[in-house]
Amino acid sequence: MTRMLIIGPPGSGKGTQAERISERLGVAAVSTGDIFRANVKGETPLGIEAKKYMDAGDFVPDSVTNKMVRDRLSESDVENGFLLDGYPRTTAQVGYLDGILANSEEKLDVVLQLTADDEELVSRLLGRAKETGRSDDNEAVIRHRLDLYHEQTEAVVAKYAERGILTQVDGIGGIGEVTDRVMSTLGDLLKVSAVTGR
């Protein structure tokens, strides 16, 4: 059983890799973006609350995000493991996730960080914006999103590095190439954690 988290900057292919990894490991992919959309579509109380912030272009507060993740992690399909994508994004959320997992006597096995050079990501995202015709993805917006990523996630990454469960994989290259790199790293790590029981 694997419980893991994937972290990566905008444009690193995190969502694509999360789907491929969860398929290969046979665990549920838990994306906060998907959770938000499902709750908004289902018009749940949490979805109605989250929509107010999303419509205003604001971050959904920790309290709402935490409840959504807690509800999702109580569903039966995560009993055999999960891959979290997009959560936790703040150190407060790290603490909350620790609490959720501790209630079930569980903890994260591995935190995978996809790394990539900012300039490479900017050119990748600008190319993608051109292909999809997304006018909101200009260079200033892209650089702002990357700055936010660095501001938000550095403390989260540092926390997991202290616990000895962080591993970094180069996110630049073809999709299949990156997946192979990730699976090779995870294969080595998960064998070790199975033996040590970490």
Range of the structural domain that residue 153 is part of: 2-192
pLDDT digits (tens, 9 = 90+) for 112-138: 999 999 999 999 989 888 887 766 668
pLDDT digits (tens, 9 = 90+) for 14-63: 989 999 999 999 999 999 888 888 888 999 988 898 888 777 767 788 88
Residue 198: beta bridge partners? none
The pLDDT of residue 87 is above 70: yes
The total number of structural domains that make up the chain: 1
pLDDT for the residue 17: 94
Catalytic status, residue 24: no
Whether residue 177 lies inside any domain: the answer is: yes
Q: Measuring CA to CA, which residue among 9, 11, 17 is closest to residue 127? A: 11
Instruction: Beginning with the edge strand found earlier in the chain, give each strand of the sheet holding 2-7 in spatial order.
Output: 28-31, 81-85, 2-7, 110-115, 166-170
Helix (H, G, I), strand (E, B) or coil at 110: strand
Residue positions forming the annotated binding site for ATP: 11-16, 128, 173
Nearest alpha carbon to residue 159 among 93, 101, 104: 93
Residue 128 annotated in active site: yes
Query: What is the model's pLDDT at position 193?
Result: 55
Q: Does the active-site annotation cover 72?
A: no
Q: Which one is catalytic: 51, 145, 159, 181?
A: 145
Q: How far is CA 120 from the centre of its chain?
A: 20
Q: Which residue numbers belong to the known binding site for AMP? A: 32, 37, 58-60, 86-89, 93, 134, 145
* Residue of 128, 163, 191, 198 marked active site: 128
Q: What is the pTM of this model?
A: 0.84
Q: What pLDDT does 3 receive?
A: 93
Give the CATH number for residue 66: 3.40.50.300
How confident is the model at residue 151, as a pLDDT? 86
Q: Where are the beta strands (DSSP E) in 8-109?
A: 28-31, 81-85
Cβ-proximal residues to 27 (8 Å cutoff; 6+ apart), any chain: 1, 2, 3, 4, 78, 80, 81, 82, 83
Does 163 qualify as catalytic in the annotation? no
Q: How confident is the model at residue 160 (pLDDT cuts 50, 70, 90)?
A: very high
In whole numbers, what is the pLDDT of the chain averaged over residues?
87
Catalytic residue among 24, 41, 52, 134: 134
Which pLDDT belongs to residue 102? Answer: 94
- pLDDT for the residue 66: 92
Neighbours of 162 (CB within 10 A): 9
Would you state the pLDDT for residue 135?
A: 62
Q: State residue 189's pLDDT score.
A: 76
**Of 14, 20, 72, 124, which one is the catalytic site residue?**
14
Instruction: Extract the annotated binding site.
Output: 11-16, 32, 37, 58-60, 86-89, 93, 128, 134, 145, 173
Dig out the tokens for 152 from the structure.
């938000």
Please say if 145 is a catalytic residue: yes
Examine residue 197 and state whether it is found in any structural domain, yes or no: no
**CA–CA separation, 175 vs 53, rounded Å?**
33
> Tell me: the pLDDT tens digits for 161-172?
999 999 999 999
The answer to whether residue 198 sits within a structural domain is no
